[in-house]
């Protein structure tokens, strides 16, 4: 299982915990941005940040009692199959061709987005200075909430982004607390 699929399982089970109905399964779709640097020919250097939102989606049915790692494993299987088919590259090429012709592409409706930024080298900082936080955003009004996941200088960075006009602070605080609790339970 990858970090990306585990984070997806954590996010989808946390979101499901807040949605009605209180019992039973709920179909959910997670949209994924994929780091294509090492999948292109020739490969792009790690100093280049390329995270393509290509329409890669994982539909799963999530119940209140589903474990994040079980949902994550299902997501991992779906993503592995999509990568083997080279879906991200094909979707990116299709989007570029459609854009060149002025054809609008449908925007997928997702429950949550996961943006796998991949590895980002550490920024050089002067001696005696420690970088405490690094972040980058890629969200816009009306977009679903999105979790940005990256390895930054060898440390895992997980960042939650959302449109504060659409999603309330209280709602997102409950989600953050559910994610925190789920992650502690999974690690324990």
Average pLDDT, 10 consecutive residues per value, the chain (188 residues): 86 87 87 80 78 75 93 94 89 84 79 75 77 64 78 78 85 88 83
Q: What are phi and psi of 134, to 5 degrees?
A: -130, 135
State the Cα–Cα distance between residues 146 and 54, nearest whole angstrom: 15
Q: How far is CA 5 from CA 71, 76, 101, 133, in A?
A: 8, 5, 34, 24
The pLDDT assigned to 60 comes to 93
Pairing of strands 112-120, 26-35: parallel
Provide the pLDDT for residue 53.
62
Query: What pLDDT does 114 receive?
Result: 79
Beta bridge mates, 33: 53, 115
In angstroms, the CA 104 to CA 67 distance is 38
d(CA 39, CA 12): 27
Q: Are 120 and 135 in contact (CB under 8 A)?
A: no
Please tell me the predicted confidence (pLDDT) of residue 51: 65
Is the entire prediction scored with pTM above 0.95? Answer: no
Q: Residue 176 has what pLDDT?
A: 87
Q: How many angstroms separate the Cα of 143 from the Cα of each of 51, 70, 163, 166, 174?
A: 17, 27, 7, 9, 19
Sequence-distant (≥ 6) Cβ neighbours of residue 96 within 8 angstroms: none
CA distance 157 to 68: 19
């Amino acid at each position: 299982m990858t970090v990306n699929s585990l984070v997806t399982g954590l996010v989808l089970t946390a979101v499901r915990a807040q949605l009605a109905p209180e019992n039973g399964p709920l179909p959910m779709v997670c949209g994924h941005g994929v780091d294509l640097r090492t999948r292109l020919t020739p490969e792009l250097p790690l100093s280049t940040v390329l995270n393509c939102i290509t329409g890669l989606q994982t539909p799963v049915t999530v119940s209140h009692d589903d474990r994040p790692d079980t949902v994550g494993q299902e997501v991992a299987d779906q993503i592995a199959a999509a990568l083997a088919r080279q879906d991200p590259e094909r979707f990116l090429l299709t989007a570029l061709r459609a854009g060149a012709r002025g054809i609008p592409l449908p925007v997928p409706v997702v429950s949550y987005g996961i943006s796998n930024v991949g590895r980002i080298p550490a920024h050089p900082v002067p001696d005696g200075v420690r970088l405490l936080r690094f972040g980058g955003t890629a969200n816009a009004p009306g977009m679903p909430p999105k979790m940005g996941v990256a390895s930054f200088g060898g440390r895992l960075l997980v960042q939650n982004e959302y449109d504060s006009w659409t999603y309330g602070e209280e709602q997102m605080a409950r989600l953050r607390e559910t994610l925190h609790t789920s992650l502690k339970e999974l690690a324990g």
